[in-house]
Amino acid sequence: MEDVGYKERSIGVNLSAAKREPHKIFRLGVFVLFFASGIGHFLLTEAYLQIMPPYIPAPRLMVQISGVCELAGPIGILIPRFRKAVGYGLLPLLVAVFPANIHMFMQEWMRPDFQIGIYGTLVLLRLPVQAFFMFSVVKAYSDKTSSPLCVAEKHSLPLEAKAEISAVR
Q: Return the pLDDT at 96.
A: 87
The yes-or-no verdict on residue 67 having pLDDT over 70 is yes
**Residue 34 forms part of a structural domain:** yes
Q: Are 68 and 37 in contact (CB under 8 A)?
A: no
**Residue 75 forms part of a structural domain:** yes
**Residue 84 forms part of a structural domain:** yes
**Residue 6 forms part of a structural domain:** no
Domain of residue 112 covers 14-168
Domain count, the chain: 1
**Residue 5 forms part of a structural domain:** no
- Shortest CA distance to 100 belongs to which of 161, 55, 164? 55
Q: Are 150 and 142 in contact (CB under 8 A)?
A: yes
**Residue 2 forms part of a structural domain:** no
Query: Distance between CA atoms of 55 and 146, rounded to whole angstroms?
Result: 37
Mean of per-residue pLDDT scores for the chain: 74
**Residue 1 forms part of a structural domain:** no
Q: Return the pLDDT at 16.
A: 58
Of 5-19, 27-41, 141-155, which one has max mean pLDDT? 27-41
Give residue-wise pLDDT tens across range 91-127.
Answer: 888 888 888 888 888 887 888 887 777 877 887 888 8
**Residue 4 forms part of a structural domain:** no
How many other C-beta atoms can be found within 10 angstroms of the C-beta atom of residue 84? 18
